[in-house]
């Protein structure tokens, strides 16, 4: 699979510090992460060992380590990995977080396995048009009964469709393109691809049992939106309640900014 991995690594390295700054005082993003953590803890035993793909600046790894999990954090962006190292040292988490520079397309190089779970947050796996190369490597990485929990971007996002009313049809319908959407970050260009939960389920083999699909920020604003939660807390709270009631229900679970999909792995035979 030919992908501009070097460009992706450089772009996210350059934006690592900005990424952490943007997350500060961001109640909407914090709520989205809390939804993901609650999903994980429903399906994992305390003290589980988690392989995190696309670990970014380590926000998830640090939180999960503080909850008693053991994390092997991987990424291809040196700038992101350095942020993780700094956090691990500052918060004295070296006994719970290990770090490896590794692409999710080279999972045969992963150290410290097998794991109780393989986790990826906030659309890191949307950088590839086909999930097969990742899924094919999972059996060698997972223990019997291991969890796969991935947070992906679906093809429909209600908030983005709303841009039709502003006349921006290109942005409103960008996720519907079968060829993906060109993203621009720190002077680098790469393509983002979107998957429905049904598409994802279809590429997992029979040894993976679907557990849950949960929509994230369906009526609540997307991750890029910070101001609504801060300026209009009552409206934001009402939208969050709608999410809470509909996040597991069809078709709403596939209409958010993201969704988390989880599977239970059983070794054949």
Nearest to 199 by CA among 159, 259, 248: 259
Confidence class for position 269, pLDDT limits 50, 70, 90: low
The CA distance from 210 to 253, in Å, is 15
User: What is the helix (H) or strand (E) element at residue 148, kind and residue range?
Assistant: strand 142-152
Q: How sure is the predictor about 1, in pLDDT bands with cuts at 50, 70 and 90? A: very low
Overall average pLDDT of the 112-128 stretch: 95
Domain range annotation of the chain: 5-265
Of 48, 54, 25, 174, nearest to 183 by C-alpha is: 174
Average pLDDT over residues 206-223: 97
For residue 110, pLDDT over 90 is answered with yes
Average pLDDT of the chain to the nearest whole number:
94
Size of the chain, expressed as the number of residues it contains: 269
Name the DSSP class of 206.
Answer: T
Who wins on pLDDT, 194 or 190?
Answer: 194
Would you place residue 267 in the very low, low, confident or very high pLDDT band (cuts 50, 70, 90)? confident
> In what order do the strands lie in the sheet containing 49-53?
97-101, 70-75, 49-53, 115-120, 142-152, 258-265, 208-216
Residue 155 phi/psi, 5-degree rounding, is: -85, -15
What are the residue ranges of helices labelled H in 15-108? Answer: 16-23, 27-43, 59-66, 78-90
3-17, 72-86, 195-209, 215-229: segment of lowest average pLDDT = 3-17
Kindly compute the dihedral angle of the four CA atoms of residues 38, 43, 44, 49, in this order, to the nearest 10 degrees: -100
Task: Say which CATH topology domain 5-265 has.
Answer: Rossmann fold (3.40.50)
Average pLDDT over residues 206-215: 97
Which pLDDT belongs to residue 14? 83
When pLDDT is cut at 50, 70 and 90, the band that residue 16 belongs to is confident
Strand pairing report for 188-192 and 142-152: unpaired
Task: Judge contact between 236 and 259, C-beta under 8 A.
Answer: no
d(CA 103, CA 55): 11
Residue 158 tokens read as 């209600």
Residue listed under structure tokens 């659309």: 123
The residue assigned the tokens 């971007």 is 153
Report helix, strand or coil for 77. Answer: coil
- Checking if the pLDDT of 92 tops 60, the result is yes
- Residue % of the chain over a pLDDT of 90: 85
61 has pLDDT over 70: yes
Rounded CA-CA distance 172/176 in Å is: 9
pLDDT band for 3, please (50, 70, 90 cuts): low
pLDDT for residue 11:
86
Yes or no: say if 127 and 3 are a contact pair by the CB < 8 Å rule.
yes
pLDDT at 5: 76
Give residue 268's pLDDT: 76
CA separation for the pair 156, 197 (Å, rounded): 11
142-183 residue pLDDT tens: 999 999 999 999 999 999 999 999 999 999 999 999 899 998
What pLDDT, on the 0 to 100 scale, is given for residue 166?
92
Classify residue 96 by burial, with Cβ atoms within 10 Å: 0-12, 13-18, 19+: buried
Q: Which residues pair with 24 in a beta bridge?
A: none
Among 77, 88, 93, 98, CA closest to 11: 77
């Amino acid at each position: 699979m030919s992908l501009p991995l070097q460009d992706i690594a450089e772009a996210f390295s350059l934006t690592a510090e900005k990424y952490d700054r943007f997350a500060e005082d961001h109640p909407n993003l914090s709520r989205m992460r809390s939804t993901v953590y609650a999903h994980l803890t429903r399906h994992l035993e305390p003290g589980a060992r988690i392989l995190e793909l696309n670990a970014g600046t380590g926000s998830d790894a640090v939180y999960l380590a503080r909850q008693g999990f053991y994390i092997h954090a991987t990424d291809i962006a040196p700038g992101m990995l350095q942020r993780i190292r700094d956090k691990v040292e500052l918060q004295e988490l070296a006994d719970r977080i290990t770090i490896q520079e590794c692409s999710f397309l080279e999972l045969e190089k992963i150290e410290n396995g097998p794991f109780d779970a393989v986790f990826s947050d906030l659309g890191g796996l949307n950088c590839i048009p086909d999930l097969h190369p990742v899924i094919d490597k999972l059996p060698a990485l997972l223990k019997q009964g291991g969890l796969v929990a991935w947070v992906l971007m679906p093809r429909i996002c209600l908030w983005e469709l709303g841009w039709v009313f502003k006349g921006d049809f290109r942005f409103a319908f960008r996720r519907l393109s079968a060829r993906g959407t060109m993203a621009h970050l720190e002077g680098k260009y790469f393509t983002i691809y979107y998957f429905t939960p049904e598409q994802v389920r279809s590429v997992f083999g029979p040894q993976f049992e679907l557990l849950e699909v949960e929509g994230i920020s369906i009526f609540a604003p997307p991750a890029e939106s910070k101001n609504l939660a801060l300026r209009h807390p009552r409206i934001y709270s009402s939208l969050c309640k709608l999410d809470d009631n509909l996040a597991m229900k069809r078709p709403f679970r596939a209409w958010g900014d993201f969704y988390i999909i989880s599977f239970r792995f059983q070794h054949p035979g």
